[in-house]
Amino acid sequence: MNLITGTLARAPGPTLAPQLALAVAGLGAVVALALLQPALPAGALLPATATGLFTLAAIAAALAWIEGGNGAARHLTCRDIAGLFTFAGICVAAAIDPDELVRLLASRSGGE
């Protein structure tokens, strides 16, 4: 209760910002990967996808840090989105064949 005005303070409700950020980032990632796929060398799509997802997770985490909050919200927050992108990035990174990644890096450095 606000002692000056005598009114009850309402807790901030859910906002559309996290949902909008998730939709825009997800759609942007899909479009970017669709456009980059022909330009990337064979075997580079999964590492590029994992890197993109971790970058999106870092951006969402920075937004969550700026947003603040105690983390006890019952609605979708930027922290949830950062966790979602991190989890997706880990899943994609786990699917990368290590031998393919070594061949990709060896071909980029000129040796084979």
Q: What is the pLDDT of residues 68-81, one digit of tens each?
A: 876 667 788 888 99
Is 53 within a domain? yes
Residues of the domain holding 36: 17-109
Is 2 within a domain? no
- Domains: count for the chain: 1
Q: What is the rounded CA–CA span in Å between residue 72 and residue 53?
A: 25
Q: What is the pLDDT of residues 2-47, one digit of tens each?
A: 556 655 544 555 667 778 878 888 898 889 888 988 888 878 889 9
Q: What is the rounded CA–CA span in Å between residue 13 and residue 102?
A: 48
- Per-residue confidence (pLDDT) for residue 14, from 0 to 100: 62
Q: What is the rounded CA–CA span in Å between residue 95 and residue 57?
A: 18
Residues sharing a CB contact under 8 Å with residue 23, sequence separation 6 or more, in sequence order: none
Q: What is the rounded CA–CA span in Å between residue 101 and residue 69?
A: 40
Is 84 within a domain? yes
Is 6 within a domain? no
Is 10 within a domain? no
Query: Model-level pTM greater than 0.95?
Result: no
